[in-house]
Amino acid sequence: MHDLVIRNATIVDGTGAPAYRGDLAVSGDQIVAVGQVSEPGKREIDAEGRLLAPGFVDIHTHYDGQCTWDPYLTPSGWHGVTTAVMGSCGVGFAPVAPNGQEFLIDLMEGVEDIPGAALSEGIEWGWESFPEYLDALASKSYGMDIATQVPHGPLRAYVMGQRGIDNEEATAADIEKMAALVKEGIAAGALGFSTSRTLIHRCKSGEVMPGTYAARDELFGIGKSLGELGQGVFQMTSNHVDMDQEVIWLRELSDMTGRPASFNLLQCDERPDLWRELLTWLDDAAAAGSKIRAQVAGRPSGLLQGWRCTAHPFVFCPTWQSIAMKPWPEQLATLRDPSFRARLVAEVPPSQGGFYDFLTRTWTKMFPLGKEPNYEPTPDQSLAALAKAQGKTPAEVAYDLLLEDEGEALLYFPVFNYSYGNMEPIREQLLNDNTILGLGDGGAHCGAIQDASITTYLMTHWVQGRTRGDRLPLERVIKKQTYDTAEFFGFHDRGRLLPGLRADLNLIDLERLHLDAPRVVHDLPAGGRRLIQEVQGYSATFVGGVQVYAEGETTGELPGKLVRGAQHPVARVS
């Protein structure tokens, strides 16, 4: 008798094969039969009318701190994620010198907009080396499996001290030490190494993060350690406008080491057609045998703006700053005062520099998100267009929109992947065989972005609800976030519904699948703020054959563990 049999499901198995009606049986933590199952189960579920898919493998998250206090890693767990990879973009919390915790918290707060007070109160420190960090993670249980990479920023700070933080050039001895520590971390179970070269990623102090300007000998010296081990991936985040230059050395490093490498691929306004060139380059590299993949997003990478968020059009105005630190009820009462509104909308904020001015004053790229969140707005829905139609200033329109829904309404600012005013670049990126789904940033950008829900959005928007253009096949959408992501990191034991593989499963009612609008909550340690996005339609999520969610509610079970390195069919996690 099997432990679990799910019957009469619409099975999309993660391989890209056409959906079919069938059953699935689980014994222990493994799938043991798929198709027609005649044997009974100790527990049986009639899945008539529902989709059965593998659990989603999210390869780009920032739960490095949150996993020490939140075993469910919300909100990703709500959206069908059963394996989460952390340590992305060169930030994390190990290795760490005995007096280095504060800098790593400031680094994470600056780069990923995770409240420093929440990290300070929530993280249960108890490690110095990266293997010790892995041991600390392995001592806990979770609502999903987790895995991590060795991040460049903490590594540089640990080895080089203030010189590393200040982005001084690494010496040969520094590089040798960093390479040895990366090799030590990967041997202990890290999935690889991550670095960031984008000027957007800055410490809390405003300085670019450690490793941003790392020279070739440093990058190749560290990368060489992956080749010597024959393990691990190399993940790089770079300035999107310069990515055509960065991928040249990344491919050379990957070819030299024989290890897979990835880079972030997003459309940017400065070079709106570069993404096409990079897809062609990517295809040519793959045809030549290079192991390069681009991480792509499922929707525009956009900033959410609201009175309670990190940013909004008035955030730098002195009149706003006069109430910025007051309790929310007092702020809301003040915002409803017509005289305050008149002063604020008339005020011209002092310049904060190009990028910050761009985010807060570019009215043509600001849109109302709406209670039914619209991530593909049309140009006539921009605040600039609405202001012209209503005979108001864009600032007046922004103020009034932000006051809707008791002051909780949000504006949407698609920073990347929306230069054409549509999602065609994203669609082509998702259809490319050499891209993998990433960039959801679960756990990060707490006051500005909520893209951990992209796993769900691929189904609600691209499969079912796109308002214009071609939809994407369900089978491809599932494969993109299961088999493709699992295979890239060497998780050969999951990502497909096949006998002998891990029983990570999502049972989904596609007819009911619905994304709520993001909203601000203060449920992090120390009352820290974050954006969440809730969902309906996930009937059940299983991790290793154990049900973790039932209709969106946790079951109390925590079967997830730390995954150390590559995994193979019938292999088990630590």
**Mind listing the pLDDT tens digit for each residue in 488-533?**
999 999 999 999 999 999 999 999 999 999 999 999 999 999 999 9
CB atoms within 10 A of CB 160: 22
In the CATH hierarchy, which top-level class contains the domain 2-53+504-554?
A: mainly beta
Residues found in the chain: 574
Whether the per-residue pLDDT at 334 is higher than 60: the answer is yes
List the chain domain ranges.
2-53+504-554, 56-299+418-488, 304-412
Which H or E run includes 264?
strand 261-264
366 contact partners, CB below 8 Å, separation of at least 6:
305, 313, 382, 383, 384, 394, 398, 411, 412, 413
In this prediction, residue 467 carries a pLDDT of: 64
Confidence at 343, pLDDT banded by 50, 70, 90: very high
Confidence at 573, pLDDT banded by 50, 70, 90: very low
Contacts by 248-255, CB closer than 8 A, 24 or more apart = 249/216, 249/219, 250/292, 251/285, 251/290, 251/292, 253/219, 253/220, 253/223, 254/290, 254/291, 254/292, 255/290
d(CA 190, CA 95): 12
Confidence at 469, pLDDT banded by 50, 70, 90: low
* Backbone φ, ψ for residue 263 (5° rounding): -140, 160
d(CA 341, CA 320): 10
Superfamily of the domain at 56-299+418-488: Metal-dependent hydrolases (3.20.20.140)
In this prediction, residue 299 carries a pLDDT of: 96
Mean pLDDT of 476-499: 98
Q: What is the pTM of this model?
A: 0.97
* Backbone φ, ψ for residue 284 (5° rounding): -65, -40
Q: Where are the alpha helices (DSSP H) in 172-288?
A: 172-188, 216-229, 243-257, 274-287
410 contact partners, CB below 8 Å, separation of at least 6:
304, 305, 306, 309, 369, 402, 517, 518
Instruction: Tell me if residue 414 falls in helix, strand or coil.
Output: strand
d(CA 235, CA 443): 18
Mean pLDDT of 337-362: 94
In this prediction, residue 344 carries a pLDDT of: 98
Taking a C-beta distance cutoff of 8 angstroms, is the pair 476, 431 a contact? yes
What's the pLDDT tens digit per position in 392-402?
999 999 999 99
